Amino acid sequence: RIMGSLMKGSGIQGTSPMAHSLNELLHKQPYSIIAHGVFWGFFFMFFTPILGSLWLFVGTLVRLVLYYTGYSSKRIDVEESVELAVVITGCDTGFGLDLARALAQKKGFHVFAGCLRKESFAQFKENERITPVQFDVTSDKEAQEFAKTVSAWLRSDDDDNTTNKKCSRYLHAVVCNAGVGYGGLIDWNPMKDYRVSMEVNFFGVVRTVKTFLPHLKQQVKRGGGGESYYRDSRIVIVSSMAGLNSSAFSSPYQASKHATESFSNGLRLEMKDLGIQVVTINPSFHKTPLTGDMAGLVRASWEHTSPEIKEEYGEEYLEKSVVEMMHVPQGMMWRPHVVTEGLVSAIELVHPSPKILIGLDTTLLLLLRFCPPTAFDWFMPDFGARPAFVQQGNNSKDKSKKE
């Protein structure tokens, strides 16, 4: 929303093919390392030349060395006798669906695709390496059933009757992806919007993690008795740049993502001693069903407000301010496959980055996070309209002055 507002304010109507190509290129290694070092190096040089120079040359050099020596670029090589389970929530559409399909094409992976609706199972019927499971992340019962399904698969160790080969199975990754979004003013959003947002976007993540954490810990425990154990497991949490920045007109979504961000950071620190990696993905605007009609989400919020609230704000404010600010044209959104590639990397890399920002605009959005509130408020564009009751109050003041 921040970037969409700024782009509209500057007259930009869409993202050019060249910008998309640049975005895709700069999310691939080693180009992302170089771009990251150059940007932050020059940024620090502006304020502290010595620190900036160190970041530009030493920091970038170290990261490039880690990349080319294989530390940060090495991908997991799945042996023929091993199968790795990946649990993904929110696979009905969007990133979850794309990720499930992408991983199913990778050697050694078996995907358990959590779907809210059973109708979504049809998308996976021709792929034997995807097991769809009905999973509403707000349901404790369905969470336990999901865990039982995965646990049964892990215990089976798949004896192949044709080759008499035993296949070891491990839970490699849990991807918390399911999410919902609500828009509108705080004055318009009912408490239900906040409860649902927190229940899905935050508590859904907590529930999913706590459901599968015993399985991940068990794989670490197995090493204590001399048995083979798995040491590459990880939890991947799909957050958002909305979890790092705030803007108007979507407080239910942003509050839930800020909570998710904090939970993810705490989880990463706690899992460190267990050898379980935690990766947080923070995409900016990408084309998904969730971002497809944000203006429609605002209208839905407006429709459920009381007649008194509607009279206070007026239709003009709705159209000229909120809907206009929330409407981000599809041309301004990045192609979603870049996020899918980032998720695949988080799952495949031996040493993934603990935080992955996706989208060229994420760098600017990250800078805004460090702005003082007064500077941030000044930087944000004007809404372009005032609520009807504010205009009436101003008109009354003008009349009294004239009298």
Residue 125 belongs to domain with CATH number: 3.40.50.720
- What pLDDT does 160 receive? 46
Q: Please write the tens of the pLDDT for every residue from 351-398.
A: 999 999 988 777 777 777 777 777 777 777 666 678 888 865 555 544
Q: Please write the tens of the pLDDT for every residue from 205-242.
A: 999 999 999 999 999 876 554 455 788 999 999 999 88
**Do the domain assignments include residue 22?**
no
Transcribe 233-255 into DSSP letters: -EEEEE--GGGT---TTBHHHHH
| For residues 16-42, average pLDDT | 76
Q: Which residue has the tokens 């959005």?
A: 365
**Do the domain assignments include residue 29?**
no
Q: From residue 276, give the alpha-carbon distance in Å to each of 57, 66, 330.
A: 32, 21, 37
Helix (H) or strand (E) segment spanning residue 302: helix 294-303
pLDDT at 59 over 90: no
**Do the domain assignments include residue 16?**
no
**Do the domain assignments include residue 76?**
no
Closest CA to 211 of 99, 135, 274, 281: 135
Q: What's at 26, amino acid-wise?
A: L
Q: Which two tokens stand for residue 157?
A: 């160790």
Q: What percent of the chain lies above the pLDDT cut of 70?
A: 78
**Do the domain assignments include residue 155?**
yes
Number of domains in the chain: 1
**Do the domain assignments include residue 48?**
no
- What pLDDT does 330 receive? 52
- What pLDDT does 254 receive? 94
224 Cβ contact list (under 8 Å, min separation 6): none
Query: What sign has the CA pseudo-torsion 129, 134, 136, 140?
Result: negative
- Expressed as residue numbers, the domain containing 127 is 2-6+81-391
**Do the domain assignments include residue 31?**
no
**Do the domain assignments include residue 46?**
no
| For residues 86-107, average pLDDT | 96
| Phi and psi torsions of 133, nearest 5° | -135, 130
Reported confidence tier of residue 161, pLDDT bands at 50, 70, 90: very low
